[in-house]
């Protein structure tokens, strides 16, 4: 078994832990749902609200650079996903961005009437793709993961997948499937919500077309943080934003009655950027400055391995055992998964439950130590083996998020 | 001329001024673009970030009530626009909400292929309506304001207008035009961005169908604050949200692969609510608690009248002289409007310039006193009559917002 103290001593990301505020005694393994708070964020919100908004008022759109934040904050994300800064934008929500990009992609392949996805994709992806397909005169075809390659026929205009499955943690081969899609004449749209910030995503090397992701998970942007979107540079000028708000106009403050899209990625903006929320996301992204994504991915995998080893065989692993095939989280299947999660929370280990029978634990590599992850695994093991989870108070279902 | 000191002494809204942070020496007449900061907002952002997010983490979705904020914060807005709390939602941006509601409306009138608007509508409204029309198989017809009534024929499925014009400040007769549209068989969609918080908007009395508006102007929700939307109760169950994200699902945390819309207004949610930004908007809306909208509208009108009287005839009024036909802002036309605005800013009066020749000044009734508005009018008058604006440093165009 790996020695957690040795791993911590050699951890090139160890410096980051102290930059997060983590409640005493808590081992938080739910950063895949809501990332922990960077210590710098409250003060940044103070500056943005009091100095920039309160004192600077309207002049801060220029003086504080607010007008550029959708692009300038996105630039901090670029190395994490293997993109150029001019291929990324911070805006709207994951759901909205999925709609924008799926519609844009369909318009580029008018003769191909199928959006292909997998049936176990995250629900909001399925819902938004369904709507985008309908409005594009296309059809959403959702197949089992194992049938994706075979389904890539000449009717498919867009392959839209989530890189890391929100339940199993299983990772798609992003580069491989992008290549397959391209050889079949289709474009690709990747949801990186569960991979940005934990894996060494490389959109450029994969020659990926479109991507997007969430700001509030591993990027620690805060609850409901703005999302990001990516469009490969070569496609940008060909694309139409189906939600063409004034901030995507070539010159918003000309107040033209006719829409002229901005050059490049900026055309994917819609409404006025949410400045306070973007300030918080900026603080989360700053913590990744000068971090090597190879180190990030390596630590993510080792944290998961360590947890699996410490939990042992008392729970059935429902994620790939090979870290190279996983994202940042791991699930175990057990009929009493709900109660096991609740009992573990009472013992200070925060995971979450996913119906019908999954206990899920996420491993944010910047804010976790190997030692606490090993300890958390041992706690969960004890909760299961001691039958602690059978206490009646853990049986009652509460609303979970 | 009205005596500003007398008006301040009798002002039922005078209590509110002290609740805003306004920089010393500034007379801020741009609350129609970005409302001033409520003093309570920075501390609220501290609580939401440090205690709720930092300490409560994922549990705050339930424990802090985050999950309900899109509806519970909207409830504070209800009396300001004459709606029931269950007809309002805080979500997304004004542009996105316009798209959602225009698409929903078009789907309710499939045999009528025209969305009618006015050609001087705010640009983002025109752009989003254009896209919604195209995706609905409809046509956007934009006519001069004077031809709206005549254009309401049997081809029109939706009349979409901005209640108060962003340049002239001219107010539409919301109830009258809604009635005309209904008699012609059309639905109505009102953009209240420039009227919520300054006028006694009464959507119920007008029997309005759809509405939306901006959180960052008179509602003081902060730069890029989340927007709101309204759907008349009787229409809600008939409506389809074209952006059907997981938060609009009947039961988001069942993670269904099939979309089932939530009952009522909640179906118009899309992605995860932006909690930090919503906390700020909540503080802005709290300042309207127990405020009578009749007092709000009366003060807005009197502030405008007082400013017009103090500016006098040195500038040509390009807004209605009758306060009953205006919203919260006033524009004056002058070939040197840009320089006059810049020179006034240097003298402590913040207005803004709108091309080609308009100087615009907004009158937020909660944060302004009659005395300072009278003084601001006198300052602008002096800037014009003394030719102060001719100083060369006021000639150079900078980016304006």
CB contact under 8 A, A244 and B127: yes
CB within 8 Å of A8: residues ≥ 6 apart: A14, A369, A370, A371
What residues 327-346 of chain A have any CB closer than 8 A to a CB of chain B? none
Q: What angle do CA A222, A220, A48 make, to 5 degrees?
A: 55
Q: What is the pLDDT of residues B277-307, one digit of tens each?
A: 999 999 999 999 999 999 999 999 999 999 9
Q: Report whether pLDDT(B6) > 90.
A: yes
CB within 8 Å of B284: residues ≥ 6 apart: B35, B38, B41, B215, B219, B220, B221, B222, B225
CB contact under 8 A, A280 and B278: no
Tell me the residue ranges of DSSP E strands in A163-252: 187-191, 210-213, 227-231
CA A225 to chain centre: 11
pLDDT value of position A396: 73
| Residues β-bridged to residue B161 | B190
Q: What is the pLDDT of residues B142-154, one digit of tens each?
A: 999 999 999 999 9
Q: Report whether pLDDT(A401) > 70.
A: no
pLDDT above 90 as % of chain A: 96
Q: How far is CA B235 from CA B139, B177, B202, B213, in A?
A: 23, 19, 17, 19
CB contact under 8 A, B53 and A223: yes
| Residues β-bridged to residue A333 | A316, A358
CA B88 to chain centre: 14
* DSSP letter for each residue of A102-167: HHHHHHH-TT--EEEEETTS-HHHHHHHHHHHHHTT-EEEEE-GGGHHHH--TTEEEEEEESB-TT
Going by pLDDT thresholds of 50, 70 and 90, the confidence category of residue B242 is very high
- By the CB < 8 Å criterion, does A38 face chain B? no
What are the φ/ψ torsions at residue A171 (nearest 5 degrees)?
-100, 135
What are the φ/ψ torsions at residue A387 (nearest 5 degrees)?
60, 20
CB contact under 8 A, A128 and B244: yes
Sign of CA dihedral B12, B18, B24, B27: negative
For residue A334, give the DSSP letter.
-
CB contact under 8 A, B255 and A355: yes
Instruction: Enter the ipTM.
Output: 0.97
Contact A174, A196 (CB under 8 A): no
Q: How far is CA B294 from CA B80, B145, B197, B351, in A?
A: 10, 27, 11, 25
CB contact under 8 A, A271 and B224: yes
What residues 86-115 of chain B have any CB closer than 8 A to a CB of chain A? 92-96, 99
pLDDT value of position B1: 66
Residue A137 has a CB neighbour count (10 Å cut-off) of 9
B122 classed as catalytic: yes
For an interface test with B, which of A36, A118, A124 has the most B Cβ atoms less than 10 Å from its Cβ?
A: A124
Which of these, B272, B270, B283, lies nearest to B77 by C-alpha position? Answer: B283
For an interface test with A, which of B44, B127, B191 has the most A Cβ atoms less than 10 Å from its Cβ?
A: B127
pLDDT value of position B315: 97
- By the CB < 8 Å criterion, does B55 face chain A? yes
CB contact under 8 A, A401 and B253: yes
Q: Is A238 left (phi over 0), alpha (psi -120 to 50) or beta?
A: alpha
Exactly one of B191, B209, B305, B352 is catalytic; name it: B191
Exactly one of B210, B216, B247, B288 is catalytic; name it: B216
Q: Please name the member of B55, B258, B280 whose beta carbon is closest to the beta carbon of A23.
A: B55
What are the φ/ψ torsions at residue A349 (nearest 5 degrees)?
-110, 110
pTM: 0.97
pLDDT above 90 as % of chain B: 96
3-state per-residue secondary structure call for B116-170: EEECCCCHHHHHHHHHHHHHCCCEEEEECHHHHHHHCCCCEEEEEEECECCCCCE
CB contact under 8 A, A255 and B223: no
Which of these, A219, A196, A201, lies nearest to A283 by C-alpha position? Answer: A219
Instruction: Sheet with B352-354: list strands edge to edge.
Output: B316-317, B329-333, B358-362, B352-354
Q: What is the pLDDT of residues B7-54, one digit of tens each?
A: 999 999 999 999 999 999 999 999 999 999 999 999 999 999 999 999
A259 classed as catalytic: no
B191 classed as catalytic: yes
Which of these, A353, A220, A95, lies nearest to B247 by C-alpha position? Answer: A95
pLDDT value of position A398: 59
Give the SS3 label for residue A259: coil
Q: Residue B302 is encoded by which pair of tokens?
A: 């009197």
Max CA pair span of chain A? 69
CB contact under 8 A, B270 and A93: yes
CB pairs under 8 A between A and B: 266
Q: Residue B42 is encoded by which pair of tokens?
A: 């920075």
- By the CB < 8 Å criterion, does A260 face chain B? no
- The whole-number average pLDDT for the span B323-328 is 98
What residues 266-285 of chain B have any CB closer than 8 A to a CB of chain A? 270-278, 280
Give the SS3 label for residue A194: coil
Q: Report whether pLDDT(A58) > 60.
A: yes
Q: Find where tokens 């949200």 sit.
A: B241
pLDDT value of position B396: 73
pLDDT value of position A1: 65
CB contact under 8 A, A58 and B352: yes
Contact B228, A272 (CB under 8 A): no
Cβ-Cβ contacts under 8 Å, A93 against chain B? 92, 245, 270-272, 274
CB contact under 8 A, A277 and B274: yes
Contact A206, A76 (CB under 8 A): no
Q: How far is CA B189 from CA B178, B193, B234, in A?
A: 9, 12, 15
Q: Report whether pLDDT(B397) > 80.
A: no
Q: Find where tokens 């339940």 sit.
A: A167
What residues 191-230 of chain A have any CB closer than 8 A to a CB of chain B? 214, 216, 222-227
Average pLDDT of chain A is 97
3-state per-residue secondary structure call for chain B: CCCHHHHHHCCCCHHHHHHEECCCCCEECCCCCCCCEECCHHHHHHHHHHHHHHHHHHHHHHHCCHHHHHHHHHHHHHHHHCCCHHHEEEECCHHHHHHHHHHHHHHHCCCCCEEEEECCCCHHHHHHHHHHHHHCCCEEEEECHHHHHHHCCCCEEEEEEECECCCCCEECCHHHHHHHHHHCCCEEEEECCCCECCECCCHHHHCCCEEEECCCCCCCCCCCCCEEEEECHHHHCCCCCCCCCHHHECCHHHCCCCCCECCHHHHHCCCCCCHHHHHHHHHHHHCCCCCCHHHHHHHHHHHHHHHHHHHHHHCEECCCCCHHHECCEEEEECCCHHHHHHHHHHCCEECEEECCCEEEEECCCCCCCHHHHHHHHHHHHHHHHCCHHHCHHHCCCCCCC
Query: Parallel, antiparallel, or unpaired for β B114-118 and B210-213?
Result: unpaired
- The whole-number average pLDDT for the span A206-232 is 98
Cβ-Cβ contacts under 8 Å, A276 against chain B? 45, 222-225, 276-277, 280
**What residue in B sits closest to A261 (Cα-Cα)?**
B127
- The whole-number average pLDDT for the span B372-399 is 92
- Exposed/middle/buried for residue B297 (C-beta within 10 Å: 0-12, 13-18, 19+): buried
Give the SS3 label for residue A299: helix
Cβ-Cβ contacts under 8 Å, A259 against chain B? 123, 126-127, 130
Which of these, B18, B132, B192, B215, lies nearest to A245 by C-alpha position? Answer: B132
For an interface test with B, which of A22, A35, A44, A127 has the most B Cβ atoms less than 10 Å from its Cβ?
A: A127
Higher pLDDT, B398 or A70: A70
Q: What is the pLDDT of residues B50-94, one digit of tens each?
A: 999 999 999 999 999 999 999 999 999 999 999 999 999 999 999
| Nearest-angstrom CA–CA distance, B306 and B203 | 29
Shortest Cα distance from A97 to chain B (angstroms)? 10
| Nearest-angstrom CA–CA distance, A95 and A73 | 20
Q: Residue B201 is encoded by which pair of tokens?
A: 């908007």
């Amino acid at each position: 078994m790996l020695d957690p103290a040795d791993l911590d001593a050699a951890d090139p990301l160890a410096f980051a832990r102290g930059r997060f505020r983590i409640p005493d005694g808590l081992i938080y393994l739910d950063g895949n749902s809501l990332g922990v708070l960077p210590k710098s964020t409250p003060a940044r919100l103070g500056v943005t609200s009091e100095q920039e908004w309160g004192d600077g008022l309207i002049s801060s759109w220029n003086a504080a650079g607010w007008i550029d934040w959708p692009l300038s904050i996105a630039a901090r994300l670029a190395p994490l996903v293997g993109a150029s800064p001019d291929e990324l934008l911070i805006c709207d929500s994951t759901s909205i961005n999925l709609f924008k990009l799926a519609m844009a992609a369909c318009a580029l392949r008018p003769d191909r009437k199928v959006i292909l996805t997998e049936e176990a994709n995250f629900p909001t992806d399925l819902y938004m793709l369904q709507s985008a397909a309908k409005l594009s005169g296309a059809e959403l075809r959702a197949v089992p993961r194992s049938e994706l390659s075979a389904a890539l026929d000449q009717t498919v205009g867009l392959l839209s997948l989530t890189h890391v499955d929100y339940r199993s943690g299983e990772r798609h081969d992003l580069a491989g499937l992008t290549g397959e899609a391209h050889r079949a004449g289709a474009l690709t749209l990747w949801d990186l919500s569960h991979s940005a910030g934990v894996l060494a995503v490389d959109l450029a090397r994969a020659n990926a077309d479109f991507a997007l992701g969430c700001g509030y998970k591993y990027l620690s942007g805060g609850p409901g943080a703005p999302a990001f979107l990516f469009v490969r540079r070569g496609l940008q000028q060909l694309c139409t934003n189906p939600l063409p708000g004034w901030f995507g106009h070539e010159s918003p403050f000309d107040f033209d009655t006719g829409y002229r899209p901005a050059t490049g990625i900026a055309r994917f903006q819609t409404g006025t950027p949410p400045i306070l929320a973007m300030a918080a996301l900026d603080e989360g992204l700053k913590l990744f400055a000068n971090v090597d994504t190879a180190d990030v991915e390596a630590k993510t995998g080792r944290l998961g391995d360590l947890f699996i080893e410490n939990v042992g065989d008392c729970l059935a692993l429902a994620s790939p055992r090979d870290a190279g095939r996983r994202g940042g989280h791991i699930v175990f299947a057990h009929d009493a998964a709900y109660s096991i999660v609740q009992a573990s929370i009472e013992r200070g280990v925060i995971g979450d439950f996913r119906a019908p029978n999954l206990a899920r634990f996420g491993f944010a590599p910047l804010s976790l130590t190997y030692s606490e992850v090993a300890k958390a695994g041992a706690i969960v093991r004890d909760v299961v083996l001691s039958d602690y989870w059978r206490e009646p108070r853990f049986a009652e279902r509460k609303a979970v998020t």
